[in-house]
């Protein structure tokens, strides 16, 4: 609560100071412009409409008769900007001291959604890319304050999180390895905020700060963005600094102690310098109860701040400086045992027999009791921040853009990897620190009346290392779990007590690229859009881990038992490779209502490196598994974007991606291979279809999206066996034809909002009711398909009911998971493959109220 209170007090202080200064900067008053603002259809006056003189801070609101008075020192003519909630904003040139202004209701026409994904401002319906655009206000109303919540609005997005580091962000089932994160792999989904690439997946766990819009691009985008993206990209734009004063504040309260505060203010500091400052803070009590500590766990404790300066020395130059920092310090994460799988090991090696011999019983029957029994304290401190400078310079018929950025990530965890209250694994702490520097220079614009495009250079340098050391440690119960023979030596007192590994690792990465994409208007209706990219990647890896603790002995037999749990490992690798990739699209714009396109592209994801421990064979570390081959994507897509009417859109996409040497995360029975290891599946195919649309009526807005996704291993002949086959005759199997993990064959969302005019305590505005429903069918939660690690399909319903006032004040009640559905987001086998697996349990019903004010 202290972080939230600090945010609120600081925000109030800044707002008061800001408006005090603005009050002193009003123009000299020597004339008056008066007028009335009316509803264009009914002719009724609009009370509380905002009227501002364009390019100034001088404005007013209409009174109870829809009238306004503006006192100004400006000479006529000048332009007024008139806006009112639920109506289309209007600019009107005023030539007389008395005016009447009519506003059209916005509900009868869908406004164009303007995006910047192709490095220029254009309508989303005109772009030959399947793209979903979520406005910041829409995300806020739906309670989507991070990517995890956003996936319920965009069904082609999959996000799996067991903690901030172990985050998998995929589009159409592709992008990052499913399961626990291995730092040696590059993501296939680009994550950009204000043009800056965020390299670490932990960024997706942080709260959004003052978001204007989120563009989700599907399919390879390497010829448009700095970093190569083989599966798609998130292009997030925050609300920028403005020379027009503005401010907003929001406060939410909910069950389980949920408190969230947001605030921002913006305005001019001088004629050429503007600023924006934004805060967000979120807190919530733990949703689980740890019976071992008798304390709640898995809470939320987030705070973030973002500051911007906008400098416009001339009309052709715009320079933006942005700094941000976000910090998470939850008491978590810990997860309950969701089930036990009978393996093919001997009876004495089955999980239930092991814990029975140790006199232990799980203190809950179901993961949905929301209890855990963890003897290791949980910690997941996650901090991320940085600084960027962006310069946009208009040159000729285009814009030269330079984006320079430095970002950092600091991760301080502590986990209980066995998911139970016995001292099996007592410490799991993969402390990491990350620095990245990036530079992008590109030019976008028209080359001739029929040719336009973008060309750019990109460089990314990363330094990811243990901070200062990563620790894994076993406890006194480890002997019984690791026991693989009936030898009495396993019972040797203290053999595994405090036996562990200390690992130092460092990955220094360089990624350099040149990319270009053109748009050739063969005719007014037919466009050819080729793109090409050359990428150079280099990785230098140092890995060293050393065992410590346990019984100090020279007995060869006892040392052999210890090596079955942990071994010393070390390797170095220095790898570099260049690669060409690209695409070609053919677009046919029949008219303003019909836009069809076909795309063929090839993508590339660079080499991966295993830095979570390597498997062993016959007592020898399999060093040859340190490097993982690059991944190649062959992608084909056909889409149609239509506007059946002024108030509706309907889009349809078909696609197929064939991947060679698919980089995947696999599990191994060895407890010393932390988080599994990376491997290549020979051939993978993902294909599907997507349908989305929206329609607006006078009092009702509806939107829907449906996705069919079919993902398979076409060829994976040497995959590790699933959990239930551990201990069998073979450690590997052919899973060709098996389904890819994390992909639901069917997923979809449907939502709507209805509103009606009304008053609340004399304040005019709109009452509204909104409902969103998300559905996904069953999916596999194991890299090697398992009959046990499958998650049943589920649907979630969220809703909101409230009032939006014409003066910028709104308030509403909201609920998430209205019907209190019990569901899993992910299932994770415990290290060592003893049989138990944890369930990442989705949030139960959440509800609360929000009050918001926008100036």
Q: Is the dihedral of CA 814, 820, 826, 832 positive or negative?
A: positive
Q: Give ∠ CA 765-769-771 in degrees, rounded to 5.
A: 150
pLDDT at 670 over 70: no
Specify whether the CB–CB gap between 275 and 321 falls below 8 A: no
- Rounded mean pLDDT, 170-191: 80
Contact 208, 145 (CB under 8 A): yes
What pLDDT, on the 0 to 100 scale, is given for residue 12? 41
Q: Which of 360-364, 407-411, 575-579, 845-849 has the lowest mean pLDDT?
A: 575-579
Planar angle of CA 73, 75, 76, nearest 5 degrees: 135
Quote the pLDDT of residue 113.
67
- Check residue 142 and give its pLDDT: 79
Q: Which tokens hold the place of 834?
A: 């003893």
Mean pLDDT of 821-833: 92
Q: Is 199 helix (H, G, I), strand (E, B) or coil?
A: coil
Span 228-251, mean pLDDT?
Answer: 89
Say if residue 429's pLDDT is above 80: yes
CB 440 within 8 A of CB 455: no
* Cβ(134)–Cβ(800) below 8 Å: no
Q: What is the model's pLDDT at position 25?
A: 41
**Which of 70-84, 212-226, 434-448, 670-684 has the lowest average pLDDT?**
670-684
pLDDT at 667: 62
Q: For residue 815, is pLDDT > 60? A: yes
CA atoms of 283 and 260, how far apart (whole Å): 6
Any residues with CB less than 8 A from the CB of 134 and at least 6 apart, and which? 144, 150, 153, 154, 213, 214, 216
- CA distances to 46, 63, 185, 318 from 658, rounded to whole Å, are 56, 62, 19, 42
- Contact, 150 vs 798, CB < 8 A? no
Please provide residue 137's backbone torsions phi and psi, each rounded to the nearest 5 degrees.
-65, -35
Each residue's pLDDT tens digit, 78-96: 888 888 766 777 888 888 8
**Mean residue pLDDT across the chain:** 87
Angle at 141 between CA 135 and CA 147, to 5 degrees: 65
Q: Is the pLDDT of residue 393 over 80?
A: yes
Q: Give me the mean pLDDT over the 19-46 stretch.
A: 65
Structure-block tokens of residue 34: 């008066």
Q: How far apart are alpha carbons 373 and 366 in whole angstroms?
A: 12
Say yes or no to pLDDT of 17 above 70. no
pLDDT at 109: 58
The pLDDT confidence band at residue 150, using thresholds 50, 70 and 90, is: confident
* pLDDT, average across residues 224-240: 84
What predicted TM-score, i.e. pTM, was given to this entire model? 0.87
Q: How far apart are CA 579 and CA 602, in angstroms?
A: 11
Q: How far is it, in rounded angstroms, from Cα 222 to Cα 604?
A: 9
User: Of 372-381, 521-530, 614-623, which gets the smallest average pLDDT?
Assistant: 614-623
d(CA 61, CA 39): 15
Q: Are strands 648-666 and 631-645 parallel, antiparallel or unpaired?
A: antiparallel
Specify whether the CB–CB gap between 28 and 38 falls below 8 A.
no
């Amino acid at each position: 609560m202290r972080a939230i209170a600090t945010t609120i007090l600081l925000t109030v202080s800044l707002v008061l100071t800001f408006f005090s200064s603005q009050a002193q900067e009003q123009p000299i008053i020597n004339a008056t412009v008066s007028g009335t603002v009316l509803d264009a259809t009914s002719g009724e006056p609009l009370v509380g409409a905002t009227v501002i003189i364009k390019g100034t801070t001088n404005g007013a609101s209409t009174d109870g008769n829809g009238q306004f008075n503006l006192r100004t020192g400006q000479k006529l003519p000048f332009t007024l900007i008139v806006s009112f909630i639920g109506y289309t904003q209007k600019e009107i040139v005023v030539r007389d001291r008395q005016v009447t202004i009519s506003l059209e209701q916005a509900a009868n026409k869908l406004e164009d959604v303007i995006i910047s994904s192709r490095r220029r401002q254009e309508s989303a319906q005109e772009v030959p890319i399947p793209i979903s655009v979520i406005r910041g206000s829409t995300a806020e109303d739906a309670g989507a304050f991070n990517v995890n919540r956003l996936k319920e609005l965009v069904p082609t997005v999959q996000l799996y999180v067991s903690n901030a580091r172990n985050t998998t962000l995929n589009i159409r089932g592709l992008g990052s390895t499913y399961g626990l994160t291995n730092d040696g792999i590059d993501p296939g989904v680009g994550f950009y905020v204000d043009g800056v690439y965020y390299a670490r997946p932990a960024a997706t766990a942080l709260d959004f700060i003052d978001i204007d819009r989120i563009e989700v691009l599907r399919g390879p985008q390497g010829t448009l963005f700095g970093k190569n993206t083989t599966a798609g990209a998130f292009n997030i734009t925050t609300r920028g600094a403005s020379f027009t004063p503005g401010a907003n504040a929001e406060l939410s309260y909910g069950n389980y102690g949920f408190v969230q505060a947001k605030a921002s203010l913006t305005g001019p500091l001088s004629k050429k310098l503007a600023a924006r400052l934004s805060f967000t803070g979120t807190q919530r009590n733990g949703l689980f109860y740890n019976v071992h500590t008798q304390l709640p766990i898995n809470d939320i404790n987030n705070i973030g701040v973002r500051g911007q300066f906008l400098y416009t020395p001339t009309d052709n130059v715009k320079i933006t400086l942005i700094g941000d920092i976000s910090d998470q310090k939850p008491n978590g994460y810990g997860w309950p045992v969701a089930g036990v799988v009978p393996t093919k090991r001997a009876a004495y090696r089955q999980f239930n027999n092991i814990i029975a011999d140790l006199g232990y019983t799980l203190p809950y029957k179901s993961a949905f009791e929301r209890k855990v029994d963890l003897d290791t304290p949980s910690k997941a401190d996650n901090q991320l921040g940085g600084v960027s400078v962006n310069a946009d310079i208009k040159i000729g018929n285009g814009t030269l853009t330079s984006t320079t950025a430095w970002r950092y990530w600091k991760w301080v965890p502590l986990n209980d990897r066995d998911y139970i209250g016995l001292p099996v694994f007592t410490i799991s702490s993969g402390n990491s620190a990350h620095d990245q520097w990036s530079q992008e220079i590109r030019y976008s614009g028209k080359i001739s009346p029929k040719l336009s495009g973008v060309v750019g250079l990109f460089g990314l340098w990363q330094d990811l290392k243990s901070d200062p050391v990563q620790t894994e440690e076993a406890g006194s119960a480890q002997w019984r779990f690791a026991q693989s023979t009936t030898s009495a030596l396993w019972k040797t007192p203290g053999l595994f007590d405090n036996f562990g590994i200390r690992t130092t690792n460092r990955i220094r990465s360089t990624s350099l690229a040149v990319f270009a994409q053109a748009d050739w208007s063969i005719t007014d209706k037919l466009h050819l859009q080729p793109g090409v990219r050359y990428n150079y990647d280099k990785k230098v890896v140092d890995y060293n881990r050393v065992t410590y603790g346990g019984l100090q002995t020279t007995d060869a037999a006892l040392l052999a038992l210890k090596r079955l749990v942990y071994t010393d490992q070390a390797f170095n690798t220095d790898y570099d490779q260049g690669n060409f990739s690209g695409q070609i699209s053919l677009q046919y714009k029949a008219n303003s209502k019909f836009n069809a396109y076909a795309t063929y592209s090839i993508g590339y994801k660079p080499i991966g490196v295993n830095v979570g421990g390597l498997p062993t064979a016959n007592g020898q570390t399999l060093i040859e598994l340190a490097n993982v081959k690059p991944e190649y994507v062959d992608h084909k897509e056909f889409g149609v974007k239509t506007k059946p009417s002024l108030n509706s859109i309907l889009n349809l996409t078909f696609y197929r991606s064939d991947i060679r040497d698919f980089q995947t995360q696999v599990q191994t029975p060895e407890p010393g291979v932390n988080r599994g290891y990376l491997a290549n599946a020979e051939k993978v195919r993902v294909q599907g279809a997507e349908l989305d649309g929206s329609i607006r009526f006078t009092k009702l807005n509806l939107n829907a999206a449906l996705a069919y996704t079919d993902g398979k291993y076409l060829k994976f002949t040497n995959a590790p066996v699933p959990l239930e086959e551990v201990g069998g005759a073979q450690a590997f199997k052919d899973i060709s034809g098996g389904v890819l993990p994390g992909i639901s064959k069917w997923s979809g969302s449907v939502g709507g909002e209805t509103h009606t005019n009304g008053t609340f305590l004399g304040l005019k505005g709109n009452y509204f009711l909104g409902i969103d429903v998300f559905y996904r069918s069953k999916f596999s939660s194991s890299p090697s398909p398992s009959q046990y690690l499958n998650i049943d399909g589920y649907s979630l319903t969220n809703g909101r009911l409230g009032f939006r006032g014409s003066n910028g004040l709104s308030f509403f009640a909201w609920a998430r998971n209205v019907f209190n559905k019990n569901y899993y987001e992910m299932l994770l086998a415990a290290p060592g493959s003893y049989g138990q697996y944890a369930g990442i349990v989705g949030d139960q019903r959440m509800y609360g109220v929000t009050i918001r004010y926008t100036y």
